[in-house]
Structure 1
């Protein structure tokens, strides 16, 4: 290599080294993440107990024949609404009509025999008085009259039974309700009191049965004495149910029955509500969500569902303090109402909680809070008319935004 080339290379190395010495090694500090915070919503809340139950008909009857015979006619459409007394089936009446005619003839015969016995007795009595007949013969005539009268009574009873049997050939609905499918086809032999022909269920109104635990029974007795088994008839409390897929608990009814005691095997008490069901939307056998109000309305705090996190320690919310630092706050939650949750413990009025950006906030780390008083779920809550919210639409107090701290925040 020539001397000139060596000199050029050395000069370039010196320039490069000088450039490296001017570069800073300090790490650029990232700004705190932006999150949206809001204060808990204050509402007057009616504490509710929630259960799972199922619906049952208020009346249900398996329709059976009361006489033997061959099925002649089916007089209803499967699944139709029927009234008490409507004819559902007709059993072949001819044998029973013949039996009725025979019973009428037997009664006529018995009445004729009685008339003859009375006539014989009337003729015998004067003869006895004149000594032309004996007392023994008179006793025989009186016995003949009594026997004939008994035969008449027996014939009348047989006639009544024959008339009943003929009427039983028309199988009628014992209650008003909705009839199931026919379970026997025309031409089949029907056995009295054995063959089930169909089923009729009345479910307007309809019952909802649910079981409550012993601890809930104790709570109800302490906070809502009117829900005890002894006081239900005088002033039945209101309860609510909702179907799977329905929003909230739109069906309102009354608690009308409670078992006197607690089942020692399950540790629960069976209770029942009754609900109007004119549109037949509720049908027997459905699973329903049941809400039973407990006690009087009391002030409470609510937060959006999206503000709640969960980890191995349980449920929590993230609170932003006056220094714009995130704090993890364990909470005990209550009812869920239209996207909002009741916070029973762990949160105070006026605190700012993270409602958007939970994934960016870390306990102990600073954030840039964007404060808001507009919570979409709260507006929906006011319009929900949910039974858990007393005076739905009326807020107890209006909270004002806290002042921004010196370290940031809008």
Structure 2
């Protein structure tokens, strides 16, 4: 009997608990408030936005071209130097001595040539009158020619000695930053051939090299060389200052391995904003599009079926409307396949699905494409 009463009480408690749960069930959520806006027609320019590698316009290894001991290092590692700045000096006294020796050789050869010419000039009229033999005249002419050749040789030796002396001074071939020196003061350099002492890198101009897709190339027109001279916008890999450059090279053919075309821009680089060896973002204008249809980028969704937007249908419901995407233009995206009078959902997008009931509100300021 007691067990029956216990079962009855347990069932009553369970029923009471279930009734309480039913009473606490929350009401259904109201329809989401969604802002709608018309797509906008505007003239835009197609752009290729690419990551580009940054290289120095000029970068040269400074080498010891003659052997000798390093007597001067006349710069601070990492310093910016002007064109012609003296950076290294190799022991000069042996090379000055060779220049003096060569100068002596030239002077002696000039004297010998002058004497040979005097002898030849004296014998020439005598030979004409038969007062000296033809063999004597021929010997004098041979001596004259030999001394003339010797003078040329001595002059060449002097020129080479002067060149070698000039090689003892290593100067910056252009303005730029110089890397750390690789050889120490007093060290013998160049003994086994040209030896690198440092590298100078031009930093006030850089090249940006990027590869654009074949579809972007097609947008340019039949001749990609039309890109030459076009201005590009450049931003460092970390954002920041926007620089302006000019396309100065377009590859003559598309790379068959990647299907891309290499282009290069010359960019002024004040303050060493872009570091050679790094990367930057390059925006290259390709072609204008008149009256493109734009919708805010946040209004565009994509899934396994493709890109779509939500548009307002009858009865306050939204409809999934497939679109073909063009290029994003700032905060807006070019679309095709969308009626120009379609009301596109641009805010309150978090709870939308195809056929969902919504509460229509005014689109927030800035929701429309400019």
TM-score per shorter chain, which class? Answer: 0.7 to 0.9
Relative to the length of structure 2, the TM-score reads: 0.81
* Residue in structure 1 matched with residue 357 of structure 2 by the alignment: 366
* Larger strand share, 1 or 2: 2
Task: Give the SS at the match of 1:46.
Answer: strand
Where do 1:148-227 residues align within 5 Å? 148-191=147-190, 194-222=194-222
Q: CA RMSD in A?
A: 3.0
* Residue in structure 1 matched with residue 102 of structure 2 by the alignment: 103
* Residue in structure 1 matched with residue 286 of structure 2 by the alignment: 294
* Residue in structure 2 matched with residue 238 of structure 1 by the alignment: 231
**Distance apart, 1:281 and its partner CA:** 0.9
**Distance apart, 1:245 and its partner CA:** 3.0
* Residue in structure 2 matched with residue 342 of structure 1 by the alignment: 333
Where do 1:90-129 residues align within 5 Å? 90-122=89-121, 124=123
Deviations 1:363-388 (A, max 9, x none): 22212222225126x6xx8xxxxxxx
1:331 paired to 2:330: no
Quick one: which of 251, 267, 279 aligns to 1:259? 251
Distance 1:331 1:194, change over 3 A: farther
**Distance apart, 1:342 and its partner CA:** 0.6
**Distance apart, 1:159 and its partner CA:** 1.0
Return the alpha-carbon distance in structure 2 between the equivalents of residues 311 and 265 of structure 1. 30
Return the alpha-carbon distance in structure 2 between the equivalents of residues 301 and 232 of structure 1. 26
* Residue in structure 1 matched with residue 273 of structure 2 by the alignment: 281
**Distance apart, 1:96 and its partner CA:** 0.3
Distance 1:321 1:79, change over 3 A: same
The number of equivalent residue pairs is 346
Contact persistence 2:299–2:309 (CA under 8 A): yes
Deviations 1:232-281 (A, max 9, x none): 56xx222222222326x932222222112222333322111222223321
**Distance apart, 1:330 and its partner CA:** 3.1
Distance 1:305 1:232, change over 3 A: closer
**Distance apart, 1:318 and its partner CA:** 2.6
* Residue in structure 1 matched with residue 33 of structure 2 by the alignment: 35
Return the alpha-carbon distance in structure 2 between the equivalents of residues 216 and 122 of structure 1. 79
Task: Give the SS at the match of 2:256.
Answer: coil
Distance 1:293 1:129, change over 3 A: closer
Contact persistence 2:77–2:181 (CA under 8 A): yes
Greater Cα offset, 351-360 or 181-190: 351-360
Contact persistence 2:49–2:283 (CA under 8 A): yes
* Residue in structure 2 matched with residue 86 of structure 1 by the alignment: 85
Contact persistence 2:79–2:177 (CA under 8 A): yes
Return the alpha-carbon distance in structure 2 between the equivalents of residues 251 and 188 of structure 1. 43
Runs of 5+ unmatched residues, structure 1: 1-23, 382-394, 396-410
**Distance apart, 1:168 and its partner CA:** 1.2
Return the alpha-carbon distance in structure 1 between the equivalents of residues 260 and 298 of structure 2. 34
**Distance apart, 1:146 and its partner CA:** 2.0
Return the alpha-carbon distance in structure 2 between the equivalents of residues 157 and 362 of structure 1. 89
Return the alpha-carbon distance in structure 2 between the equivalents of residues 174 and 162 of structure 1. 22
Deviations 1:168-203 (A, max 9, x none): 111122222232222222223322863122222224
**Distance apart, 1:346 and its partner CA:** 4.6
Runs of 5+ unmatched residues, structure 2: 1-21
Task: Give the SS at the match of 2:215.
Answer: helix
Distance 1:171 1:30, change over 3 A: same
1:354 paired to 2:345: yes
**Distance apart, 1:86 and its partner CA:** 1.8
